[in-house]
Each structure stands twice: as C-alpha cells, then as structure tokens.
Amino acid sequence: MKISKSFKIYIHIILVLLISKSVLADNDFSKNIVIYEKPKAIKELKFKDLNLQEVDLTNKKGNIMILNFWATWCAPCRREMPSLEKLTHQYPEVKVYAINMEKPNKLKAQDFFKFVGVLSLDIYFDPELKLVKQFKMRGLPTSILIDKNGNEFGRIVGEIDFTGENFIKILKKRI
C-alpha cells in the first residue's frame, strides 16, 4: 500500500497545527476560580502543623486566608506553589496554609518545598482527611478562599498563578 504525497502533506499540516496550538495555548487558569454570590459558613477548621500539633482556625477572623491543599506527587501543585509563596510576599495580610494531603511525612514535605524553591511557607497536614470531606474536594491542587469573617467565599480547583492579574483583582476586592 502506497500513501499519496498529498496525504502525507495533510498529515504534516495537521501535526504542525496541533503542536503550534499547544505551544501557543493561553495559560489563563481563571476558569478554575469559583467565587460564590453568598459566602458559605465554615463550622470547623482544624488541621495539624508540621509537628502534628493542632491548628484551630475555626473562629479566626480579620484576614483573608487561603487553604491550599497539595501533595508531593502532584505536578500542578509543583508548578503553582512558588506563585503562592510570592503572593504572601506581595500581600502579607493574606494568610496562606499549605496543607499536605498525604500521610504526614515531615522530611518528604520539606524536601518538596526545597525542590520547588519555596522557603517561607509553613507546612500543614490533614492526617484524617477531615477537611477533604468537609470541603467535598475532588482533586489537587484545591484552594479554599476564606474571607475576613471566616467564611468560604470561593475556591480554586486546579492550578492557577496566584500572582496573575485575574486572581489579584479578586483578592483586592476582599482585602
């Protein structure tokens, strides 16, 4: 069976189009952000710090908080974590809690942060996965956005650039 010259040309054109589309694709992750019309009350907000001591933010108010759920095996988590740290430098009034969703392993989590170049974020754990159930999470990374009154005002499912224009606009409305 012989393939015609025109067929080969068509295949090459299609391949070039597909490759150029993926290379030039817009990395606008704003569609991953959901902002609620009415914030949702959070009844309980407890997890563990790096030393597995309880952190209770249930009644914490006054700051915007971001609960960022991640794992060491998660490639999108790896890509977004540096922008989350950069956000904390630009907006120190925003409190970020990077919560690892794996079995607590202090060294593995610290090595992950070193690998991605994150030096100033604290590491937290949710060993019983209570927050996963509470927030009905479906994948990683997921970030829960909490307003100054302690209510969930939105969430991000999937990877975003926390220093991107779309997210900063949302943040500035709440600060």
Residue with tokens 């999470």: 137
Q: Which residues of 78-108 are buried (b: 16+ CB within 10 A; e: fewer)?
A: bebbbebbebbeebeebbbbbbbbbebeeee
- The pLDDT tens digits of the residues spanning 13-41 come to 776 666 655 544 445 556 889 999 999 99
Residue 12: predicted pLDDT: 67
Average pLDDT over residues 54-77: 96
Helix segments in the chain, DSSP class H: 5-23, 75-90, 106-116, 130-134, 165-174
pTM of the model: 0.83
Residue 18 confidence (pLDDT): 64
Query: If you average pLDDT over residues 54-66, what whole number do you get?
Result: 95
Q: What is the pLDDT of residue 25?
A: 44
> Domains plus CATH for the chain?
28-174 (3.40.30.10)
